[in-house]
Amino acid sequence: MYSSTVLSIGLFATTVLAHGNITSPPARLPGPAMAQVCGQAAVAAINADGTAPLENIPSNGSPKCNIGLCKGAQFADNRKNVQQYAPGEQVNFSAVLPIPHEGPCNISVVDTATNTIVETMLVFDSYADENLAQLPLNNTQFSVTMPTDLPAGQCTQPGECTMQWFWFGTNAQQTYENCVDFVMTA
């Protein structure tokens, strides 16, 4: 009985603990605009564990709430975090991955109006492999080069584009995502 209780508690703890998150540059965070669009439960879920998978974030069902775009976090709550990057500039990222789940990962520029990838800047075919004794440093410290070939005027207005870190843990069937709001400078 005791060993099954310990095993059950251990499995539960693994389920609720954090998984992964971008720590730099500043990623979108939940706030009042997200609560209005997605509901307070979605905000509370992210505030409780900002590194949990998208599948753990409840939506209120509003068509305006898109958990698949920046975890549902709204630009209106993150206007002060807009970064400025020049074409060809190298941007350094830091991530925490306390519970890895192997799967593909990419960092892409995403058009927020359509939630479509404009350009993919970095691809990991295998990322955050939990079978490794230690994750490679490039899983938590990596850089991307900002595109030099975006159409004229694209990603120049705050909120128009985001850099999206997107990771899917294949065996866990869990999706992780963070967005960095930015504008391209000339």
Based on C-alpha coordinates, what's the Rg of the chain? 17
The answer to whether position 8 is within a domain reads no
Q: Is the pLDDT of residue 4 over 90?
A: no
The answer to whether position 86 is within a domain reads yes
Q: What CATH number does residue 103 fall under?
A: 2.70.50.50
The answer to whether position 142 is within a domain reads yes
pLDDT band at 1 (very low <50, low <70, confident <90, very high): very low
The answer to whether position 73 is within a domain reads yes
The answer to whether position 149 is within a domain reads yes
Interval 140-182: pLDDT, tens:
999 999 999 999 999 999 999 999 999 999 999 999 999 999 9
Provide the domain count of the chain.
1
Q: Is the pTM of this model over 0.85?
A: yes
DSSP structure class, residue 120? E
Cis peptide before 25, with omega less than 30 degrees from 0? Answer: yes
Q: Which domain holds residue 64?
A: 19-184
The answer to whether position 5 is within a domain reads no
Distance (Å, rounded) from C-alpha 72 to C-alpha 56?
12
